[in-house]
């Protein structure tokens, strides 16, 4: 969501323009007869003091099990226990379908000292709509609020929360979950397909969304065939405005109703797991919109947000910032991270806009921010939140991936918290992305003057556990599609992009590709319509798709391309200084192993090089593993007839070398074969 320079790119499309609404059913309360109260005023408290104590200390990991609306059985009576945090409220009532939206029917009781209101309502059916009517301390009746812990929500533009379904989903992913717990992710391939569920595909007849079931049937099989290891879904928490892409969530605990029910979302994840695909979710703890049915001024005070706009308002997005120093807000966010992993079996979270959380002066001018109590720019409360979430998630869910989209040089993002790090498992390498895309956009005749744009990333490539992202942010807001960033005529555009992908897949770091980039989408991404799948009727786009499929499958087969990627011994330059030719030569290996070495030759000019000599680590036969100039991918077909034999001729500081053809605007991978 951020650019590599720390600037924001979503301001023009994420401004909140959605009309604030209440439910259509809520508007019937003026004429509907009042319902008689059904709650027992003298019944015992149902919320546990221990749970509330941990909640009030910011240490509650699973607040969703008692906050919000939860099915319980009290004295043999089935019902729903409602609980909401509103410490400054004078009065709180539950209003909903079950009481004709009459606030007099179901007043709640407050736990003194905790500010949490509760009410048990017997015999409520699943799916009933509800909200909270809150009267502030000064007597104002606030706009009705959706449940901050609501686990299901109405489809926009309606905004009520819904009584969740009783636990009913039968998971079938036991094998996957055990495999995940036993697999060291940093030593495994990660090839991530980033997806916006609302625009990957749509119904052709009405441009309607695919359902969770349809996504399970179509998206999962496609990503698996393409060789991806993980799906990364852009935010799936409920959000009011389609144009925010989910990055301005209101219902942080509710899977969006756009595609179906929470159990149908579980089905999508379960299907992916049974197919051998992990599922990552974008998570947005950095900010939230000010829609009146949401968290803003929740009990008439700045409860979830800071009161001072220098701390509580994001100028870039016209949104509010969580008060990370408030214990109950910490419990809210910590529990939400746990919730998606616990209740939906997701395999990790990608934290959006981490830089905006870490720096108090993020995107602010002098005088528009407040320093911490040491006088610094670091947001100490946000740092504490990030560390707490990462520590507790990894303790409870071994094998998951916690990923930071962090656009600055903050040290130790993926280091252990015990050594002063933030505790993430991975960090997006936005510097690599910016440098290399800038290089690739240049005319090849000028690239020799900017050689370091492609090599600079290796100076810090092993300082963090990096993911190399070509994400949705790079194909919107006038930035153009990846294909259209490439210079030259149409053939050269495709050749450049193929060569770039070959370079990327050979480079240290896990891989992320946004949907549509695998077949060279020509137009910028539009969230209101499906990808341009019709492009696959044309050979160049078919060739690009074949290449990405082969890159992924080769990435799965060769440990040199994924094992121990933070270890500098996995990478070695053969020739980093061929500026005049704009050629880059390097190798990848498994540390401590002499076999399985993959050599990459990247030629980023239109010049064909025959008899190009390059040093290799040992003698033997080097098979051509991949050639992005293959006619199969839409290239010219220049290559090495299967490979080349090494000669005892010293080159590039090595005693052995091979003489090869390096095609124009192409990447070639070679691998030493055993027994030849």
| 292 contact partners, CB below 8 Å, separation of at least 6 | 20, 143
Question: What class has domain 21-162?
Answer: mainly beta
What's the chain's Rg over C-alpha atoms? 27
Q: Which distant-in-sequence residues (6+ apart) come within 8 Å of 670 by Cβ?
A: 598, 599, 601, 622, 623, 624, 625, 640, 643, 644, 658, 660
d(CA 647, CA 211): 58
Say whether pLDDT at 593 is over 80. Answer: yes
* pLDDT of amino acid 294: 97
Mean pLDDT of 58-82: 96
| Residue 513 in this model has a pLDDT that exceeds 70 | yes
173-179's contacts with Cβ under 8 Å and 24+ in sequence apart are 173/269, 173/270, 173/273, 173/274, 173/345, 175/274, 176/273, 176/274, 176/276, 177/273, 177/345
The confidence score (pLDDT) of residue 675 equals 52
Closest Cα to residue 328, out of 118, 119, 114? 114
Question: Residue holding tokens 């500098």?
Answer: 568
Distances in Å between the Cα of 86 and the Cα atoms of 453, 458, 647 are: 52, 51, 77
Model confidence pLDDT, tens digit, residues 411-438? 999 999 999 999 999 999 999 999 999 9
Task: Please give the CATH number for the structural domain made up of 568-673.
Answer: 2.60.40.1180
Task: Please report the DSSP string for 606-672 in residue order.
Answer: S--EEEEEEEESSSSEEEEEEETT-GGGTS-----TTEEE-BS--BTTBSEEEEEEE-TTEEEEEEE
pLDDT at 42: 62
What mean pLDDT do residues 318-327 have?
96
pLDDT for the residue 197: 98
Cβ atoms 249, 284 nearer than 8 A:
yes
- Residue 442 φ/ψ, nearest 5 degrees: -80, 150
Q: How many Cβ atoms sit within 10 Å of the Cβ of residue 205?
A: 6
For CATH 2.60.40.10, the residue range(s) in the chain are 21-162
Mean pLDDT, rounded, of the chain: 93
468, 507 Cβ separation under 8 angstroms: yes
Q: In what order do the strands lie in the sheet with 116-122?
A: 68-74, 77-85, 116-122, 109-111
Name the DSSP letter for residue 351: E
For 583, the enclosing helix (H) or strand (E) is: strand 583-588
What percent of the chain has pLDDT above 70? 93
Q: Which residues contact 485 (CB under 8 A, 6 or more apart)?
A: 437, 440, 441, 479
pLDDT band per the 50, 70, 90 thresholds, residue 362: very high
Helices 327-344 and 262-274, packing angle to 10 deg: 60
CB 121 within 8 A of CB 97: no
Q: What span, in angstroms and rounded, lies between the C-alpha atoms of 44 and 46?
A: 6
Beta bridge mates, 117: 84, 110
Q: Is the peptide bond before 82 cis (omega within 30 degrees of 0)?
A: no
Q: Which of 343, 352, 435, 565 is catalytic?
A: 352
The yes-or-no answer on residue 405 being catalytic is: yes
| pLDDT band with cut points at 50, 70 and 90 for residue 32 | very low
pLDDT per residue as tens digits for the range 384-412: 999 999 999 999 999 999 999 999 999 99
CB 474 within 8 A of CB 434: no
Over residues 604-628, the pLDDT tens digits come to 999 999 999 999 999 999 999 999 9
From residue 254, give the alpha-carbon distance in Å to each of 117, 170, 339, 651. Answer: 21, 19, 10, 60
Please name every residue paired with 283 in a beta bridge, in sequence order, or none if there are none.
351
Q: Please give the pLDDT value at position 44.
A: 87
Q: What residues form DSSP beta bridges with 575?
A: 585
Of 194, 405, 550, 565, catalytic: 405
Residue 38 has pLDDT above 90, yes or no: no
In this predicted structure, the answer to whether residue 541 has a pLDDT above a threshold of 50 is: yes
238: annotated active-site residue: no
Q: How far apart are CA 425 and CA 389, in angstroms?
A: 12
pLDDT in tens, 153-201: 999 999 999 999 987 899 999 999 999 999 999 999 999 999 999 999 9
**Element at 389 (helix H, strand E):** helix 380-396
All CATH 2.60.40.1180 domain ranges in the chain, comma separated: 568-673
**Tell me, what's the pLDDT at 3?**
35
Mean predicted confidence (pLDDT) in 85-113: 96
Mean predicted confidence (pLDDT) in 354-373: 95
In the predicted structure, residue 37 carries a pLDDT above the cut 90: no
Q: d(Cα 442, Cα 496) in Å, to the nearest integer?
A: 11
């Amino acid at each position: 969501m951020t650019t590599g320079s720390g600037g924001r790119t979503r301001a023009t499309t994420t401004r909140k323009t959605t009309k604030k609404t209440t439910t259509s059913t809520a508007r019937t309360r003026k004429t509907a007869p009042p319902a008689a109260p059904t709650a027992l005023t003298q019944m015992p408290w149902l919320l546990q003091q221990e749970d509330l104590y941990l909640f009030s200390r910011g240490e509650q990991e699973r607040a969703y099990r008692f906050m919000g609306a939860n099915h319980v059985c009290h004295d043999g009576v089935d019902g729903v226990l409602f609980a909401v945090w509103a410490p400054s409220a004078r009065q709180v009532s539950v209003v909903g379908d079950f009481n004709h939206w009459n606030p007099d029917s179901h007043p709640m009781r407050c736990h003194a000292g905790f500010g949490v209101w509760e009410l048990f309502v017997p015999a409520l059916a699943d799916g009933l709509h509800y909200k909270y009517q809150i009267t502030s301390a000064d007597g104002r009746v606030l706009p009705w609020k959706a449940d901050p812990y609501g686990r299901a929500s109405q489809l926009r533009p309606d905004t009520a929360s819904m009584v969740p379904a009783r636990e009913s989903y039968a998971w079938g992913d036991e094998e996957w979950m055990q495999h995940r717990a036993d697999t060291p992710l940093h030593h495994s391939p990660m090839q991530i397909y980033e997806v916006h569920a609302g625009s990957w595909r749509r119904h052709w007849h009405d441009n309607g969304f695919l359902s969770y079931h349809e996504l399970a049937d179509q998206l999962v099989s496609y990503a698996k065939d393409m060789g991806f290891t993980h799906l990364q879904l852009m935010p799936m928490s409920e959000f009011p405005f389609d144009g925010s892409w989910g990055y301005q969530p209101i219902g942080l605990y509710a899977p969006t109703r756009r595609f179906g029910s929470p159990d149908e979302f579980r089905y999508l994840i379960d299907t992916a797991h049974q197919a051998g695909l992990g599922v990552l979710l974008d998570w947005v703890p950095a900010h939230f919109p000010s829609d009146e049915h949401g968290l803003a001024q929740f009990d008439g005070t700045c409860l979830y947000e800071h009161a001072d706009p220098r701390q509580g308002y994001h100028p870039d997005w016209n949104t509010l910032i969580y008060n990370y120093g408030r214990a109950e807000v910490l419990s809210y966010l910590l529990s939400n991270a746990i919730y998606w992993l616990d209740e939906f079996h997701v395999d990790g979270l990608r934290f959006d806009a981490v830089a905006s959380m870490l720096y108090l002066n993020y995107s602010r001018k002098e005088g528009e921010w407040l320093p911490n109590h040491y006088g610094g720019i670091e947001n100490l409360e946000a740092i504490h939140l990030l560390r707490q979430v990462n520590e507790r998630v990894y303790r409870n869910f071994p094998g998951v991936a916690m990923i930071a989209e962090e656009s600055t040089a903050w040290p130790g993002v993926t280091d252990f918290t015990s050594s002063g790090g933030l505790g993430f498992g991975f960090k997006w390498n936005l510097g690599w992305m910016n440098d290399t895309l800038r290089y690739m956009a240049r005319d090849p005749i000028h690239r020799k003057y900017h050689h370091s744009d492609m090599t600079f990333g290796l100076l810090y490539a092993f300082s963090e556990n990096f993911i190399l992202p070509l994400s949705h942010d790079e194909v919107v807001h006038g930035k153009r599609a990846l294909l259209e960033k490439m210079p030259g005529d149409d053939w050269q555009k495709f050749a450049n992009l193929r060569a770039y992908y070959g370079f990327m897949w050979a480079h240290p770091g896990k891989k992320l590709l946004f949907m549509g980039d695998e077949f060279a989408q020509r137009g910028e991404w539009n969230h209101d319509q499906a990808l341009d799948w019709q492009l696959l009727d044309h050979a160049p786009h078919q060739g690009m798709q074949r290449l990405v499929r082969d890159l992924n499958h080769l990435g799965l087969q060769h440990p040199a391309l994924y094992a121990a990627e933070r270890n500098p011994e996995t990478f070695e330059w053969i020739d980093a200084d061929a500026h005049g030719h704009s050629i880059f030569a390097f190798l990848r290996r498994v540390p401590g192993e002499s076999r399985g070495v993959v050599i990459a030759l990247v030629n980023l000019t239109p010049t064909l090089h025959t008899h190009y000599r390059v040093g290799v680590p040992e003698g033997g036969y080097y098979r051509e593993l991949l050639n992005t100039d293959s006619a199969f991918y839409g290239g010219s077909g220049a290559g090495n007839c299967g490979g080349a034999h090494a000669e005892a001729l010293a080159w590039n500081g090595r005693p052995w070398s091979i003489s090869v053809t390096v095609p124009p605007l192409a990447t070639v991978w070679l691998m030493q074969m055993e027994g030849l």
